[in-house]
Amino acid sequence: MGAHFGYLFAAYSIIFIVIFLYVMFIWRRQAALDAELRTLEARMAALAERSAAGGPTEPQSEA
């Protein structure tokens, strides 16, 4: 291999590492979205339960 192999290796390594990190970032954002979705589902279920019970109860927090 040539004298500049180190540069070549560095360039290709950085490209793949950054792309991998970006994919990980997207993955973590997806996990956060899933958690938020579960919270929304729980709030909707609580709201539906209160509607079925036939009236207002204690005000719910906005968590």
| Contact footprint for other proteins (CB under 8 A) | 1-5, 7-8, 10-12, 14-15, 18-19, 22-23, 26, 29-30, 33, 36-37, 40, 43-44, 47, 50-51, 55-60, 62
CB of residue 11 vs other proteins: minimum separation in angstroms? 4
| Residue among 35, 34, 43 at smallest CA distance from 62 | 43
CB of residue 43 vs other proteins: minimum separation in angstroms? 5
CB of residue 17 vs other proteins: minimum separation in angstroms? 10
- The C-alpha atoms of residue 48 and residue 54 are separated, in whole angstroms, by 10
* Contacts of residue 50, Cβ cutoff 8 Å, sequence gap at least 6: 56, 57
